[in-house]
Amino acid sequence: GQRQQVGRVPLYPGHIPTSPLQKALLAAGSACVALWDPYRHDMVAVLGETTGCLALPKLRDRMRNDPEGYRILQERPRIRLSTLDMARLRGLPDGTLGREYVRFLEDNKVSPDTRMPAKFVDDEELAYVIQRYREVHDLMHTLLGMPTNMLGEVVVKWFEAVQTGLPMCVLGAAFGPIRLNARKLQVLATELVPWAVRSGRNASCVLNVYYEQRWEQSVESLREEIGIFPPPAVRV
């Protein structure tokens, strides 16, 4: 006979309702594949969504309790190429958030549009929270001064793990270093991780910053405001 697989309806465009068993299988499967092939960004995304059920509500509450964060939850800004005025940002003075962000995108040949939309989060507001986290990730790179190579990504993951508590960040921070050579591991352990952790602890919640309204602000002043310490002078 015919049977609806899960008696739930999609809560937002792209939502795929899943049973607890499916979430567990997805979490396990995506963890294995992400470890095997870190360039399977879709699997990293799925891992984040299926394991974030405790951390995401906490993150959402932190946003609700902050005036700027609350506004972000109300207005739901999205960082996409179609909404960014790239020409204007490029024209901003060096050292401003907007200018450095565009420089980061161009240097590393990445685009904000490659972020996967949330699929397996069973709450429409939490789906936005994880979406916002993903879209803000590139800005994290900019604020921390880290490139998108393996070492840079691991450092950002450590920072994000402390900041958000998302299991996917914790796993990425813990297992990412497996693929690094001894020299990089040393730099990571002695300089980069301690700084990332200290900054993560000291900083206010990075999701409570309305970046789209701060393009003109200098990166340094924004770092100070949030509480991120200046990055160590090592080559990453």
Partner 1 sequence: MAAGLCPGRALLSRRGGALWALLGPARGLAAGPETHFGFQNVSEAERREKIYQVFENVAEKYDVMNDSMSLGIHRVWKDILVHKMNPSPGTLLVDVAGGTGDIAFRFLNYVRSVRERQLQQKLRHQQNLSWQEISKSYQEEKSNPLGDSQVVVCDINREMLKAGKQKAQHLGYSEGLSWVLGNAEELPFDDDKFDVYTIAFGIRNVTRIDLALQEAYRVLKPGGRFLCLEFSHVSNPLLSRLYDLYSFQVIPVLGEVIAGDWKSYQYLVESIRRFPPQEELKAMVEDAGFLRVDYQNLNSGIVAIHSGFKL
The annotation places the binding site for Zn(2+) at 137-138, 141, 153
Binding status of residue 114 toward partner 1 by CB under 8 A: no
- Separation between Cα atoms, residue 137 and residue 133, nearest integer Å: 6
Q: Give min distance, CB of 65 to partner 1, in A.
A: 34
Q: Give min distance, CB of 231 to partner 1, in A.
A: 34
- Number of chain residues interacting with partner 1 (CB under 8 A): 19
| Chosen residue from 46, 139, 188, 207 binding partner 1 by CB under 8 A | 46
Pair of tokens at residue 164: 């958000």
Contact code string over 138-167 relative to partner 1, x by CB under 8 A? ------------------------------
Binding status of residue 82 toward partner 1 by CB under 8 A: no
Using only C-alpha atoms, the chain has a radius of gyration, in whole angstroms, of 18
- Separation between Cα atoms, residue 163 and residue 39, nearest integer Å: 23
Range in contact with partner 1 (rule: CB under 8 A) among 17-25, 66-74, 88-96, 128-136: 17-25
| Chosen residue from 15, 60, 99, 119 binding partner 1 by CB under 8 A | 119
| Chosen residue from 12, 29, 57, 152 binding partner 1 by CB under 8 A | 29
| Chosen residue from 15, 30, 146, 162 binding partner 1 by CB under 8 A | 30
Give CA separation, 41 vs 33, 144, 175, 180, in Å. 10, 21, 15, 19
- Separation between Cα atoms, residue 209 and residue 227, nearest integer Å: 12
Pair of tokens at residue 43: 């699997």
Q: Identify the burial level of 113 via C-beta atoms within 10 angstroms of its C-beta, where 0-12 means exposed, 13-18 middle and 19 or more buried.
A: exposed
Binding status of residue 3 toward partner 1 by CB under 8 A: yes
Mention every residue, 6+ apart, whose C-beta is less than 8 A from residue 168. 44, 47, 48, 51, 52
The residue among 40 and 103 lying less far from partner 1, judged by its C-beta, is 40
Binding status of residue 44 toward partner 1 by CB under 8 A: no
Pair of tokens at residue 84: 């960014």
Measured at the CA of 63, the angle between CA 62 and CA 69, to 5 degrees, comes to 145
- Residues at the site binding partner 1, with contacts judged by CB under 8 A: 1-5, 16, 19, 21-22, 25-26, 29-30, 33, 40, 42-43, 46, 119
